[in-house]
Chains A and B, each alone.
Chain A
Amino acid sequence: MKSIAFVALLFCAIGFSSSNNLICNTPELDIPKEWVDMTHGCIGKMREQVLEELKASMQYMAMGAYFAKDVVNRPGVSEMFFKSASEERDHAIKLIHYLLMRGELTTNISDLIKRNLVPPVTTWENVVSAMKAALKLEADVTRKIRKVIEVCEHDTASNPSNNDYHLVDYLTGDFLEEQYHGQRDIAGKVSTLEKMMKDHGKLGEWLFDKKVQAGEL
């Protein structure tokens, strides 16, 4: 299994030294760099945020898994959390695409993502507590996006300090927009669920799950 990689590497190594061999590397390019104008501190913050989105994603994954268990059995809620997990991954990919569009991510690609992202919490008392945890998680992500905006709007790591107008606009208009709508949606669901459960406890939760599953909330 490893031999294929080894052979490929070997071919590449030989490619440098003699002619008529496998050429793996493309020629050194001389592309002007003036257009690559994101600044150091801002880039770092953006790269951190990619990881934050993926961490949130794996946390939602754990929620989806917990409520999928037969002894918990909240299929609607579980599916909702699995969907959120994939959405958070999409956010990470959107940030990556933005960086690529601006000419970034040409170096140090391997440490952009920590591969082993174990979610810190894996069980919840009930649906309400998980939804509240989700709301707190979103608020935390929002706070971090705001921090990225702050740094990118006034990046003191470069001299003179830099304002990345376009990125700041993108994060504000696109990312924060989605955060605030998402938070309002979760908060509304928490409110509905708590009221459904006030006098009826588990019956309320069961009904809530069915409503979520049918897309009626």
Chain B
Amino acid sequence: MKVFIILSIFCAAAFAEDYCYKDARRACGTKLSLDMKNCTAKYGAIERAEASLQKFAYHHFIRSFDYLLLSTHFANYQKNRPGFEKLFRDLSDNKWHEGIELIKYITSRGGEMQFNDVDNLVESEDGNFDLHEITAIAKALDIEKKMANEASEIHHRIWHKSVLHDPEITDYIEKEFVHKEKDLIRKLAGYSTDLKDLLNPEDGSLSLFLFDEFLQGNKLF
């Protein structure tokens, strides 16, 4: 049975290049509305990755909103931490634009975006953004690790679980997410370490001022 499936996939792959041509030949001289349904940009393993890429893109927008809330929180007059405001705003902007880029990527591989594909990954979290400086950093670190793992899962799906090899998708995931997440996670973990050391009873309050000032002048990306 398995052999048959693999064989039939190979056959499909072998003849794939002729499908659109046949469609086009059949369509010539017929009614305009005739579908050339094999003439899409789809090839390789995109269909295996499409649903998880859609979800991944959608998660980017949700995270962008999460970070926007954190940024807003640190910008109120009582918190008044322009450095933390900037940090979370940069994260929010970054997630937003990467989300758009992901949609463009999906469509570049002949797929489409779907927005209603939300699982309980996000809903199971506590949606409280009224946080202290160090807990906000901790939250961001958790979020970024989830993002990194999600990227790895998509990579795994294509690399190990797909019959069709598709280096374009895995390379895209590596280039756009795997390495960048590594840097971001490392930075946030470093901030967490610094704050843990600085927030003692004597230095705590002034430490946060200085750390905030450092964040104001620091480039996250």
Contact = CB atoms under 8 A, between A and B. Distances in A.
Given A12-B134, A103-B77, A70 B103 contact: no
Given A106-B77, A115-B127, A5 B69 contact: no
Contacts of A70: 40-41, 107-108, 110
B77 A112 contact: no
Contacts of B76: 100, 103-106, 109
Contacts of A68: 103-104, 107, 113
B45 to A, nearest CB: 17
Which residue, A23, A89, A104, has most C-beta atoms of chain B within 10 A? A23
Contacts of B41: 70
A8 B135 contact: yes
Interface stretch (A26-34, A126-134, A169-177, A192-200): A26-34
Interface in B103-145: 103-104, 107-108, 110, 112-116, 118, 122-123, 127-130, 132-135, 138-139, 141-142, 145
Given A8-B192, A122-B115, A110 B69 contact: yes
The secondary structure that dominates the B interface is helix
A24 to B, nearest CB: 4
Interface size class of B (residues with CB under 8 A): 35 or more
Given A64-B100, A106-B77, A116-B122, A23 B69 contact: no
A16 to B, nearest CB: 11
Contacts of B29: none
B133 to A, nearest CB: 7
Interface of A: 1-2, 4-5, 8-9, 11-12, 15, 19-27, 29, 31, 54, 58, 61-62, 64-66, 68-71, 82, 85-86, 89, 93, 96-97, 100, 103-107, 109-110, 112-113, 115-119, 122
Given A105-B76, A113-B68, 17 more contacts: A1-B145, A2-B142, A4-B141, A4-B142, A15-B199, A23-B201, A24-B133, A65-B107, A70-B40, A71-B40, A86-B100, A100-B76, A109-B129, A109-B130, A116-B62, A116-B123, A119-B115
